[in-house]
Structure 1
Amino acid sequence: MAPMASHFPAKFQPLSFILLISLLSFTSSPATANNYGDALRKSILFFEGQRSGKLPPDQRLRWRGDSGLHDGSTAGVDLTGGYYDAGDNIKFGFPMAFTTTMLAWSVIDFGRNMGPELGNALKAVRWGTDYLLKATAIPGVVFVQVGDPYSDHNCWERPEDMDTLRTAYKIDANHPGSDVAGETAAALAAASIVFRSRDPAYSRRLLDRAVKVFDFADRHRGAYSNSLYHWVCPFYCDVNGYQDELLWGAAWLHKASRQRRYREYIVKNEVILRAGDTINEFGWDNKHAGINVLISKEVLMGRANDLKSFQNNADDFICSILPGISHPQVQYSPGGLIFKAGASNMQHVTSLSFLLLAYSNYLSHSNHIVSCGHLSASPSLLKQLAKRQVDYILGDNPLRMSYMVGYGRRYPERIHHRGSSIPSVRAHPAHVSCKEGSRYFLSPNPNPNVLVGAVVGGPNSSDSFPDSRPFFQESEPTTYINAPLVGLLAFFSAHY
């Protein structure tokens, strides 16, 4: 992680200078002011467009209707509700749990900045946890998916019209899935903090379930993609292993319960579960950077010196992601966007930016600055870098396109999303069958239903973007892109 070569002597290379030069070079013309409050409202509204189940009377995206009302019936359980993860009609438990964890973390750290949108953010969290409680209602069992992904992906139809197989898939003692169970425990524990003072009984229920699910995840270790390979791969196949989710779940349970056993678990298993691996990865499959930042708060407050290594890892994460420092896993596009290889790059942008912002706040409260060799990173500079990423998403980029649907003057109109691309049941009450929807998928016309607030996968490494449904890696929105963005927008709406 050596700094990039420069013509300036080392004594003239404080990070503020390098970062300023980087930020200026990222912007092709003067930035326009963004309405972060409006973007925050829309980023939360998006989750209403992803709802499955019986929609409530206060549903605001009115083009959506009830769907998946018999989910779980094939297994004799109620699995209605929850979120569709992206532009398809499957309920994948792994990314849904991560989405819920990040919505909860957004409220925990930035809820005070959400103003009138706090209530809607709480509803978004609860829509996820209500479903996760259903999915974990049977002891020793976690339902991790609803819907046959092959039959679903073979169709292009509205969720309200689904006639594909709604098979329910589960993990248990004989078919372990410590990754998805660990993330589910993390989501329930994080949400218990959110509702601790707002709904104490619900909070206790969430925490009690989190404890049970984590114990199951730890006792029966294994990756769910080994148990359910054919049904979760290549869609949400765990390529990173389950160890990070066990540490992640323990970290959230310690934060929620304050029980010493979880801290002891973290200390005991830090090396075994590879806490220092892939320090700059964070998303539905890899929790390492998130673990280190989350645990570092305790260290920086002087309450957990035995966990100092996690702060060291978090500092290394910061050093690996800064412009002006070379690292093979984190690059920047010519326009200044964080870019990592793989599909749906915006998931990396929002998740890593959230960690930059969260860690900058933890550093501020402890008067700590990250040292990266002869460079140093202050909390204000980390906030500036996170803000730069958010501004890029909202339109401060070479194409002058907002990658949030419904925000700004120009945004993606042909997103890879079934419900958005087919006329709604209100406009077209007749059933649209599996293959009949293909003509809407292939149509050059804009989507008839605006999925307000959806952030798509985004441009490629050269800042170009095809506004076209078939280019799903660029044009498909996901819940786990939006969830970290909620916290970012809350902070910037209150401070800029």
Structure 2
Amino acid sequence: MPESRASMGSPAFTSASDPSMHSVRYVHTISGAGRLLPSSSRWNSIELDFNLFPHSNTGFDSLPSRFSKSVDFNLTITDKKYFKRFAYISATVLIIIPLLVLLIHFLPHKNHHHGSSKNLTLALNRALAFFDAQKSGPFPKNSSVIFRGDSGLQDGKTTNTNADLVGGFYDSGNNIKFSFPSAYTITLLSWTVIEYHQKYAAIGELDHVKDIIKEGSDYLLKLFIPPNTTSDHTLLYSQVGSTGNETINDINCWQRPEDMNYPRPVSVCDSTASDLAGEIMAALSAASMVLKEDKDYLGKLIKAAEKLYELATKEGPDHKQGMYTMNDDCGGQARQFYNSSGYKDELVWGGTWLFFATGNFTYLEFATNNFTSAEKEELSVEKGIFYWNNKLTASAVILNNYLLEF
């Protein structure tokens, strides 16, 4: 208060009889602000008078400090309305700034699409590891999938067949090996490497994906037995394992493939399974473009693909084209899982990939000449959709890119 201002800058009042009067403590203050600054000695001090409070009518306000110089800044508030507004704004800013800093610090940061993404690399590695885990046959000793081992080593050896069908990949939720979606998968994986091989190499996954494609291609070559000196029939194996009415089969017996000890029947087709032939043709052709460093293997893939094309596209009274699932012995069991609704899109798909693999315009001519008829066969609910049962959209993309280059 103003009345105490002079005394607060002076020695504390004591009585004459007070023995402590010779031990005086001084208190310095900012005038009018009521802030006490204790002192045990006679410091030099600056008394600041902001004139924020009304002055007393007494004469103490005009008395100078006995032990200090007084500097009067004469800061006067002329409009309390603006002062209050300034105070509120200042307080608000002081509160908001720390809150913003805390929010920026604790909120999750989004990944910016600049440079390589470690998360994308991890996702791709895990996606490829899925194929590693689905491998059938002798299991690689250096695989990162440590819970798997050799399995299906007797595939193809049944009472009705004596073929080597060891290898390939199991279906996603069981131990069956379906040829139609497996061939489609190898085609797609090969396409990704053709388009993005530099990206694969940059993240160290190029050799990994090539190994998977090689594994699948080796198995696809086993699925096709062309006519030879001992038989004039074409053989296509569409399935290993059973979904039928057996007491124990690959659907109702959920176990590790390493522990399978029940019969695994084989489904057999001929060249009338045009869709299956077209998809295997496409897979072998696309894989040949990925694995082209091995000239001998490249030649083997192209030779099989061209032979398949010859058998699947020939016309005559002794040859009938159709879907593999229309024949009970060929795709009767696969019908409920991977039913095919047409075959012309697979033949166009296979011819397109065979053209790119060989540069032979005969295959390009076949693909373009039969594209319209394949469109007529396409289901209305599948138009514009690309998946294992409909290849037209992807064929159009590939052919369009080729035509744009010329």
Measured against the shorter chain, the TM-score band is: 0.5 to 0.7
Between 184-193 and 290-299, the greater mean CA deviation after superposition: 290-299
Normalised TM-score (structure 1): 0.52
**TM-superposition CA deviations, 1:17-76 (whole Å, max 9, x none):** xxxxxxxxxxxx974566111222221122110000011222220100111000001111
Q: Which amino acid in 2 is paired with 1:152? A: D
For residues 260 and 226 of structure 1, the distance between their equivalents in structure 2, rounded to whole angstroms, comes to 32
2:325 to 201, 220, 225: 225
Structure 1 SS opposite 2:268: strand
**CA distance in structure 2 between the partners assigned to 1:261 and 1:231 by the alignment:** 35
1:137 aligns with 2:225: yes
SS of residue paired to 1:88: coil
CA distance in 2, matches of 1:268, 1:214: 15
The 5 A counterparts of 1:2-81 are 31-32=110-111, 35-74=119-158, 75-81=161-167
Stretches of structure 1 that go unaligned for 5 or more consecutive residues are: 1-28, 303-496
Query: What is the aligned partner in structure 2 of residue 177 from structure 1?
Result: 273
Structure 1 residues 161 and 294, CA gap change in structure 2 (3 angstroms): same
Indicate the residue corresponding to 1:260 in structure 2. 361
| CA offsets 1:350-406 (integer angstroms, 9 cap, x no match) | xxxxxxxxxxxxxxxxxxxxxxxxxxxxxxxxxxxxxxxxxxxxxxxxxxxxxxxxx
Q: Give the TM-score normalised by structure 2.
A: 0.64
Distance 1:92 1:269 in 2: 27
SS at match of 1:143: strand
- Structure 2 residue aligned with 1:93: 179
Structure 2 residue aligned with 1:191: 287
Q: Distance in 2 between matches of 1:85 and 1:137?
A: 23
Point out the more displaced range, 43-52 or 88-97.
Answer: 43-52
Cα distance in 1 for partners of 2:342, 2:262 equals 30
Q: Is the 8 A contact 2:240 2:267 kept in 1?
A: yes
DSSP 3-state at the match of 1:45: helix
The residue that corresponds to 2:258 in the other structure is: 160
Percent identity between matched residues is 38
Alpha-carbon separation, structure 2, partners of 1:217 and 1:162: 35
1:310-325 residue pairs with structure 2 within 5 A?
Answer: none
Question: Secondary structure of the equivalent of 1:285?
Answer: coil
**Secondary structure of 1:274's aligned partner:** helix
Aligned residue identity for 2:207: G
For residue 18 of structure 2, what is the aligned residue in structure 1? Answer: none
Which residue of 1 is the match for residue 338 of structure 2?
A: 236
Contact 1:152 1:165 survives alignment (8 Å): no
Following superposition, the deviation at residue 137 of structure 1 comes to 3.5
Residue in 1 that maps onto 2:405: 301
Say if 2:344 and 2:377, in contact at 8 Å, map to a contact too. Answer: no
Aligned twin of 2:103: none
- After superposition, the C-alpha distances for 1:264-296 in whole angstroms (9 at most, x for unaligned) are 112321222227944421111111111111111
Aligned partners of 1:270, 1:280: CA distance in 2, in Å? 14
- Residues 237 and 267 of structure 2 are in contact (CA less than 8 Å); yes or no, is this contact kept in structure 1? yes
CA contact (8 A) 2:345 2:371 kept: no
Aligned residue pair count: 270
In the alignment, residue 224 of structure 1 is paired with which amino acid?
A: Y
Once residues 268 and 152 of structure 2 are traced to their aligned partners in structure 1, the CA distance between those partners, rounded to angstroms, is 18
Instruction: Check 1:53–1:301 CA distance in 2 against 1; reply closer, same or farther (3 A cut).
Output: same
Distance 1:92 1:117 in 2: 26
How far the C-alpha of 1:179 sits from its partner, in A, is: 0.9
Q: Does 1:281 align with 2:398?
A: no
| Pairwise CA RMSD | 1.8
> Is 2:226–2:307's contact at 8 Å kept on the other side of the alignment?
no
Amino acid at match of 1:37: T
**AA matched with 2:240:** V
1:84-112, Cα deviation, whole Å (9 max, x unpaired): 12120000000000000011111111111
Report if the CA contact (8 A) 1:244-1:275 is conserved.
no
Kindly provide the CA deviation profile for residues 98-141 of structure 1, in whole angstroms up to 9, marking residues without a partner as x. Answer: 00001111111111111211000100100100000111134321
C-alpha separation between the residues in 1 aligned to 2:368 and 2:256?
48
For 1:425, the equivalent position in structure 2 comes to none
Q: Which amino acid aligns with 1:60?
A: S
Provide the rounded CA distance (Å) in 2 between the counterparts of 1:266 and 1:70.
Answer: 38
* Distance in structure 2 (CA, Å) of the matches to 1:156 and 1:38: 29
Which letter maps to 1:154? N
**What is the distance in 2 between the residues matched to 1:79 and 1:165?**
14
Alignment match, 1:323: none
Question: How far does the alpha carbon of each residue in 1:214-256 deviate from its partner, in whole angstroms, 9 at most, with x for none?
Answer: 2222234110010135311211111x31110010000000111
Match of 1:104 in 2: 190
Runs of 4+ in 1 over 6 A off after TM superposition: none
User: Alpha carbons of 1:41 and 1:275: their partners in 2 closer, same or farther (altered >3 Å)?
Assistant: farther
